[in-house]
């Protein structure tokens, strides 16, 4: 099977000590949290739940009850200017020696560079990352977690204006309930499309088949905003980040009074935090 994109960087997750529990499975099952309504759908490959059609009408600018139900938390101005500056400095430091890759080996991401960072000596950066993680963890409270915590690193992804992240789902086994991203430097459009696994593919494989043109949801990510993707949008939709030309096309269609005309997709840096996926994927338990 083809190597999966969005695996984080080599070496992750780090091997964890094997933890065997002496209690019987039955006693822990009793304490399992109540499952949200969409949970059963996850195990039903031929059901692709659609988010509210209201979200498909035009670029989504703010969090609404429909967006929340679809599984997207969207917070404007999630980080302060000082936190943003501290994170950008870390990105520059770590990425200085990293060349832009023309194309990722499985073509999901185009024109980009990335690094993983797990230690934040700057208190502003540390505070922002911890707040991101807490927000994502709380947003998925009640979801049946596959893993038992979060990856120790966050990824920084640097996309120049013509860089794009093509439609994909995040790895269905390595990662858990959410993908949490901080959008820095430039506005960007994140596009979601309903997704079905192709007949030769298992539900758990990451790409699936995005349904072109149908049920598309476009969300505007402003600089310093945070998103947490979970639930239906995590499991049943692909997501992508548009390049400058495709973003301009979306913005061109927006009524000027909506306050997103004149946006430009410039260089964009995202900071991505994730939680652990299925135990045992790497032959270790955690």
Contacts to ligand OGA by CB under 6 A = 6, 157, 165, 170, 181, 239, 241, 270, 272
The interface partner of residue 176, options being Mn ion, ligand OGA, none and the CB cut-off 5 to 8 Å by kind, is none
Closest distance to ligand OGA from the beta carbon of 286 (Å): 21
Q: What's the burial of 213, exposed, middle or buried (CB within 10 Å: 0-12/13-18/19+)?
A: exposed
Closest distance to Mn ion from the beta carbon of 109 (Å): 9
* Residue 237, both tokens: 């939709």
Closest distance to ligand OGA from the beta carbon of 39 (Å): 22
**269: three-class secondary structure by DSSP:** strand
Closest distance to ligand OGA from the beta carbon of 22 (Å): 37
Judge contact between 274 and 179, C-beta under 8 A: yes
* Footprint on residues 168-187 left by Mn ion (CB under 5 A): 170
- Cβ-proximal residue to ligand OGA, closest one: 270
* Residue 97, both tokens: 């020696």
Q: Tell whether the torsion through CA atoms of 134, 140, 144 and 150 is positive or negative.
A: negative
Closest distance to ligand OGA from the beta carbon of 9 (Å): 11
The interface partner of residue 238, options being ligand OGA, Mn ion, none and the CB cut-off 5 to 8 Å by kind, is none
The interface partner of residue 157, options being ligand OGA, Mn ion, none and the CB cut-off 5 to 8 Å by kind, is ligand OGA
Q: What is the biggest distance separating any 2 CA atoms in the chain, rounded to whole angstroms?
A: 62
**1: three-class secondary structure by DSSP:** coil
Q: Which is nearer to ligand OGA, 54 or 162 (CB)?
A: 162
Report the C-alpha gap between 130 and 149 in whole angstroms. Answer: 13
Q: Which is nearer to ligand OGA, 6 or 113 (CB)?
A: 6
**Residue 73's closest CA among 164, 181, 218, 184?**
181
The interface partner of residue 181, options being Mn ion, ligand OGA, none and the CB cut-off 5 to 8 Å by kind, is ligand OGA
Report the C-alpha gap between 269 and 49 in whole angstroms. Answer: 31
Interaction site with Mn ion (CB under 5 A): 170
């Amino acid at each position: 099977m083809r190597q999966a994109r969005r695996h984080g960087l080599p070496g992750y997750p780090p091997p964890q000590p094997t933890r065997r529990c002496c209690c019987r499975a039955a006693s822990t099952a009793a304490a399992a949290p109540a499952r949200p309504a969409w949970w059963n759908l996850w195990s039903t490959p031929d059901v692709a739940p659609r988010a509210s059609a209201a979200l498909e009408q035009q670029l989504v600018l703010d969090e609404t009850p429909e967006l929340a139900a679809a599984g997207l938390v969207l917070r404007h101005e999630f980080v302060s200017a000082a936190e943003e500056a501290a994170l950008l400095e870390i990105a520059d430091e770590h990425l200085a020696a990293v060349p832009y890759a023309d194309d990722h080996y499985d073509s999901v991401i185009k024109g980009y560079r990335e690094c993983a960072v797990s230690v934040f000596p700057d208190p502003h950066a540390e505070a922002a990352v911890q707040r991101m993680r807490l927000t994502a963890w709380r947003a998925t409270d009640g979801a049946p977690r596959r893993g038992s915590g979060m990856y120790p690193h966050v990824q920084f992804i640097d996309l120049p204006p013509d860089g794009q992240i093509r439609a994909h789902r995040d790895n269905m086994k390595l990662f858990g309930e959410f993908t949490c991203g901080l959008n820095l430097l430039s506005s960007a459009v994140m596009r979601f499309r309903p997704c079905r696994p192709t007949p030769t593919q298992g539900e758990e494989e990451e790409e699936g088949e995005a349904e072109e043109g149908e049920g598309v949801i476009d969300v505007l990510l402003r600089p310093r905003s945070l998103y947490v993707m979970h639930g239906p949008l995590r499991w049943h939709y692909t997501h992508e980040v548009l390049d400058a030309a495709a973003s301009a096309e979306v913005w061109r269609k927006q009524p000027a009074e909506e306050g997103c005309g004149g946006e430009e997709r410039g260089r964009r840096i995202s900071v991505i935090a994730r939680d652990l996926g299925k135990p045992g994927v790497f032959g270790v338990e955690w």
